[in-house]
Amino acid sequence: MIEAFRQYFSLCGGLLYWLIVAPFRGRPWRIGHTFAQIVRIGVHAVPMSALTALTIGVVLAMQSAAQLAKLGATVYVPGLVSSSLIRELAPLVTAVIVIGRSGSSVTAELGTMKVSEEIEALEVMAIPPMSYLIVPRFLAMVIMMPLLAVFSIYVGLAGGWLISHFSLHMSTAFYVNHALQYVELRDVGIGLLKSGVFGVLIVTIACSIGLNVSGGAEGVGLATTRSVVVSLLSVFIANAALTAVFFF
């Protein structure tokens, strides 16, 4: 456990150096690789994120409508859907999707490179693995996580609109007005902050575990599983901590 923490913080320190200090010393990170990772990590995760957000918006509207109808207060369904998505569900669910799809992929890819000695080959060719492999993935994750969360919010609201419009017979204007009525700019900022923190946790954990794989193909599989589990736990703990900070 102590060794895992040492490896993690060592990677974070090296990452900060190559992100901030190295470019001013004539060793910039590769923009082309960053865009390639943006497509692989973020763009390819859009369909899965959209489907998940749509179903969550639909289920949230149905469940809230069923309970609020007992009180004759279905008018609050749009506000409940929007506030829940923006403050909690969209950032958290997007993080879970990215962990399962992109975080595990990063760990498996880096782990395979590690056991096949490709990373050592980069060092022999005087190509810093941190700059070549880690920085582009980090930047891609930090950029795409908030964007995916915003996209999930819109799709989730569309799911809530489907139930509100066709089941509760609300007009589109009524739904939009009441959905925005219960959301403040502060809530949007909190949601985006959570997404950014989740992205940092996911990519640093995935890279740290991937770079320290041993044991061949079996080790890669075990490392990928460990990366998903640790990332999920870290995201849930971070979500609870951030929610508590803004609550108190």
Q: In this structure, how many other beta carbons lie within 10 angstroms of the beta carbon of residue 26?
A: 6
Distant-in-sequence, close-in-space partners of 103: CB < 8 Å, separation ≥ 6: 202, 203, 205, 206, 227, 228, 231
Residues 99, 228 contacting (CB under 8 angstroms): yes
Q: What is the DSSP string of 77-98?
A: HHHHHHHHIIIIIHHHHHHHHH
Cα–Cα distance for residue pair 231/235, rounded to 1 Å: 6
Mean pLDDT, contiguous 10-residue spans, the chain (248 residues): 83 86 77 87 90 93 88 87 90 93 90 86 82 89 93 94 90 90 88 94 93 83 92 95 87
Q: For residue 121, give the amino acid letter.
A: A
* pLDDT value at residue 216: 77
Q: Residue 140 has what pLDDT?
A: 93
The DSSP letter of residue 66 is: H
Residue 209 burial (10 A CB sphere; 0-12, 13-18, 19+): buried
The pLDDT score that the predictor gives to residue 133 is 86
Question: For residue 96, with 0-12 CB atoms within 10 Å meaning exposed, 13-18 middle and 19 or more buried, which class applies?
Answer: buried
Model-wide pTM > 0.75: yes
